[in-house]
A and B are shown apart, each in its own frame.
Chain A
Amino acid sequence: MNSIVTVITFLPAIGAVVLVLYSLLQSREGAEQVNPYRWITLLFTVATFIASLGIFSGYDASVAGPQLATKVPWIESLGVSYYVGVDGISLWLVPLTTLLMPVSVLASWHITKRVREYMIFMLILETGMLGVFVSLDMFLFYLFFEITLIPMYFLIGVWGGERRIYAAIKFFIYTVVGSLLMLVAIIAVYQINGSTTFDIVEITKNLPARLQNVSHAAQYLLWGAFALAFFIKVPLWPLHTWLPDAHVEAPTAGSIILAGVLLKMGTYGLMRFNLPFFPQISRDAATWVMVLCVIGIIYGALVAMVQPDMKKLVAYSSVSHMAFVVMGIFSFTQQGMQGALYQMLNHGISTGALFLCVGIIYERRHTRLIEEFGGVATPMPQYSTMFLIISLSSLGLPLLNGFIGEFLILLGTFSSTVVPHARTFAVLGATGVILSAVYLLWMLQRVLFGETTKKENQELEDMDLREKVALIPLVVMAMVMGVAPMLFLRASDKTVDGVRQIVVPDRGKTERVAK
């Protein structure tokens, strides 16, 4: 049995233990030194990233099922096993997580109070997130899903902004409402499947047949319980109201992780649970889900446009972009779903980098209000270039990653034969692209370009080495993903096709993603 997935998942947790042990061995003066904690954490997150690249060597893109799997019986009397592995859907989400973590650690260098606890929470959070993506057992998935809440709650509540307590409690309770109802659905699915196992792969095979005995209303409720948890996480309008508060009040690294990875747990869950377990209900619900997506895209963009705070603007842009992803998933076409997966990665990179850019300038001026800036490109040209590239990637300029994802999603939605009124939704969704250009370019113009009117802005220092090392990999990835998408899409093609076949069987030959 291959254990690389387990190593990747738990290496950050081991790092947390190392941090605790290291701090216990310190004298009182030694404990005041915060740099060792930062470097140890950076070491562990980079090591996890390098380890996560190892999953590509054993991965075979022509197989649809989970690979590099480890299955060990854990709680036999409940039918729970420790079953982890990667398949096409989760394959690229793992390196996304492990890439954004060192970036976040670098972005946290300016944290000075309670650095040890901060880094411990970051490492536990990384283990939790990786565990969510590689879990192939429902119980284990739920465990990791909930574990990510606690470190995020503390990160927002202790190291956050002014309204951090309100934001942290709102984030926790809002998310937990969805996930506790999902727990009931997990138990119910376990029972419908014969009360033998929580294994996701087995249930995916057996459940649609067993669901014949369950009433339509009951199936809808179960689908709805899963969907509620994931729609809250995505977040899909109208369940998005926790996001602006959480993003704005979180520290920079917290926002990067929240937007870059935690939101993907929602869309990942939709592809892992809702579609394969309940194909018929997913088809039935697709219309109103699309309506919510379209509203989310347009609403998110419109509200982003009027934000005076840069971080809140990016937060609402997240609402808008993630609604795109859900639209792609529920289009039930190969292009749409592949595009949705790709857009998950894109959004992680570009929005993560956007929050990093906002954080860089916040560290200098301690304000995020757009009106406080203007003409920042003059004192900070390198920063402005990066910021511009990232924003263009976020709004979907061709040759950058966002274009591929959005194009595939819109193409898939437009050509969907399963969802009624799909073309209308695609057209309406496309307006979101225009609107995102509006709010992003307008923000850039007000912040970066023009005359450097304020005196404080004239003396701003450009990025130092640490910030460059954090930002440049993301910019490079954005460009690489924009010109060579097949590198990434090839891995997920078969698995996505498998999921699609469950939802829309007997649709003839599979439509391949256009090269």
Chain B
Amino acid sequence: MQLRLDQLGLDYYSILPETITSVVGVVIMMVDAFSKRGARRANATLALVGLGGALAAIVGLWAEPPGSSFSGMIVTDHLRLFFSGIAVLSAIIAVLVALQFLKDEALPPGEFFSLLMFGTCGMLIMAAAGDLVTIFLGLEISSITSYVMAGYRRTDLRANESSLKYFLLGSFSTAFLLYGMTLIYGATATTNIEHIRQAIATGQMPFPQLLLIGAAMMFIGFAFKIGSAPFHLWTPDVYEGAPTLVTAFMATGPKAAVFAAFLRVFTSGFNAPASAAGLGLQSRWVAALAIIAVITMTVGNVIALNQRNIKRMLAYSSIAHAGYALVGFVTGDWGPVAFYMLTYTVMNLGAFTVIQMLARAGDEKTMIADYAGIGFEAPGLSFLLAVFLLSLAGIPPTAGFMGKFFVFKEAWNNAPNLHWLVVAAIINSIISIYYYLYPLVVMFFRPAPERFVKPRVSVPVAVALAITLIATFYLGILPNGVFGLLDSGQPRAAQVFSVK
């Protein structure tokens, strides 16, 4: 069989964002190699330029009609571009904060920025994946850079523990995912997600017996990666041990990218209408997802009630938010989950950045008790943290409320059998309010400490905080612009998810 180059679908414009980020990552490594003492500002500028270029490429690709390239391995549609935007946004904020973080802790900047760029490239590939192998590729690139960044404070034992735990459990979960992918390949004889969907719909599968177990393994793999219960045990330790800035990045960008891949595989790939050949796959995974979502939310919220370390508390809050986002899967459209991940990213980036500032070099002060009385001493930072915590709790008029409202409304409308899921999510939101209010109580209602030194906030960090603050209120009050972007350009498949 002759391989013809023009049939491969080589469309380099469609992978422009990924190309830019990886090239810039290499350039940063070069600049770092040939400069004395790391050239922190130069590398950060390069990173920002690269990320800006990737963002421009994403905007440019937006106008393109939906399609696939590279023999279906890369898909270009609004789902991909929206999640790519979220990934690049989290990277930009991370770069802005990293300038001060790396300077305060005297850590080598070159590797950090290039790891960040490669991680972003991995996230972009994951979001753009139209094929299971591409998902694996992007996931591994993103994961490995995260493992290294988590342990970036080489001399800190907690960071070492966090990095190693993340590496071991991450590899373990990737193995689940990979095995699931191979079983799906065995069942359908293809790894292209669109072809998988067609195979299930038409029933032309060489080995249908492997379908359910393959889907289950992939489900477990993805569930591990997003930190949902009962696969969440790595999240609090990893988030607590890693440097706060790295936690901010890991908790938002890569998680959003994994959600994109999760969405595509399950709501596009395993989404054939109920047919005998499909073995009821769709209703089964919706049922499993609903149960996992409830368990995740509940575990995350209940355990967070008891936390006294703010990073750990936010880690459990991330687990709970993954649960709320999973509710969005039953809506039959990618819009609610995408919007929720955007609001989640913005809120968490802001909250972790403030915590980074208040925690000082080396993450000295991360216990909630360290925050006693600083509310009026550092009013700017405390106000920001208050806004982000209230947004995480889902209080209007913030992004967190709008995200939850959108997801719950769509889930209620489109999944009539799963009303209990929405009610459970609301009850979980009620439970969560207590632990989001608790730092506010400590900050504002307790008397101020003596000899409190206000942390110095550099200009890039101020810019990052301004971006997240404005985004939080913008998404909460005027979400119409962003809602307009959630249109996939194709008529929405009228699918009502039912659970047996």
State the A residues within 8 Å of B (CB). 74-78, 114, 117, 139, 142-143, 146-147, 149-150, 153-154, 157-158, 164-165, 168-169, 172-173, 176-177, 180-181, 183-184, 187-188, 190-191, 195
B137 interfacial by beta-carbon distance below 8 Å: no
Q: Are B444 and A75 in contact (CB under 8 A)?
A: no
Q: List 27 A-B contacts (CB under 8 A).
A: A74-B480, A75-B480, A77-B480, A77-B484, A78-B483, A142-B396, A143-B397, A147-B395, A147-B397, A149-B395, A150-B395, A153-B437, A154-B444, A157-B445, A158-B445, A165-B441, A165-B445, A168-B445, A172-B437, A176-B430, A180-B429, A183-B405, A183-B408, A184-B412, A184-B426, A187-B409, A191-B413
Separation of A105 and B32 alpha carbons in the complex (Å) = 60
1/0 per residue, CB under 8 A from A, across B415-434: the answer is: 00001001100110110011
Contacts of A77 in B (CB 8 A): 480, 483-484
Q: Which of the residues B396, B406, B427, B441 comes within 8 Å of A78, measured between beta carbons?
A: B406
Contacts of B376 in A (CB 8 A): 114, 117
Separation of A184 and B434 alpha carbons in the complex (Å) = 20
Main SS of the interface on chain B?
helix
Contacts of A180 in B (CB 8 A): 426-427, 429-430
Q: B331 to nearest A CB, angstroms? A: 13
Separation of A165 and B483 alpha carbons in the complex (Å) = 39
Main SS of the interface on chain A?
helix
With A117-B376, A187-B408, A188-B419 given, name 13 new contacts (CB 8 A): A74-B480, A75-B479, A77-B483, A142-B396, A146-B401, A147-B397, A157-B445, A169-B437, A180-B426, A184-B412, A187-B405, A187-B422, A190-B409
Contacts of B422 in A (CB 8 A): 184, 187
Contacts of A195 in B (CB 8 A): 413
Separation of A195 and B419 alpha carbons in the complex (Å) = 15
**Candidate in B376, B397, B405, B434 with the most chain A CB atoms within 10 angstroms:** B405
Q: Which of the residues B396, B405, B409, B433 comes within 8 Å of A173, measured between beta carbons?
A: B433
Q: Are A184 and B396 in contact (CB under 8 A)?
A: no
Q: Determine the residue in chain B with the shortest Cβ distance to A156.
A: B445
Q: Which of the residues A143, A150, A187 comes within 8 Å of B412, measured between beta carbons?
A: A187
Q: Are B441 and A157 in contact (CB under 8 A)?
A: yes
Separation of A142 and B162 alpha carbons in the complex (Å) = 42
Q: B127 to nearest A CB, angstroms? A: 23
Q: Are B408 and A184 in contact (CB under 8 A)?
A: yes
Separation of A149 and B401 alpha carbons in the complex (Å) = 14
Separation of A24 and B412 alpha carbons in the complex (Å) = 45
B390 interfacial by beta-carbon distance below 8 Å: yes
**Candidate in B429, B437, B445, B484 with the most chain A CB atoms within 10 angstroms:** B445
Contacts of A149 in B (CB 8 A): 395
Q: Which of the residues A78, A153, A164 comes within 8 Å of B409, measured between beta carbons?
A: A78
Separation of A154 and B443 alpha carbons in the complex (Å) = 11
1/0 per residue, CB under 8 A from A, across B434-460: the answer is: 100100010011000000000000000
> Given known contacts A146-B395, A176-B433, is B445 in contact with A188 (CB within 8 Å)?
no
Contacts of B480 in A (CB 8 A): 74-77
Separation of A172 and B390 alpha carbons in the complex (Å) = 12
Q: A237 to nearest B CB, angstroms? A: 22
Q: A490 to nearest B CB, angstroms? A: 35
Separation of A169 and B434 alpha carbons in the complex (Å) = 8
Contacts of A188 in B (CB 8 A): 412, 419
Q: Are B445 and A164 in contact (CB under 8 A)?
A: yes
Separation of A245 and B330 alpha carbons in the complex (Å) = 42
Q: B150 to nearest A CB, angstroms? A: 35
Separation of A117 and B377 alpha carbons in the complex (Å) = 13
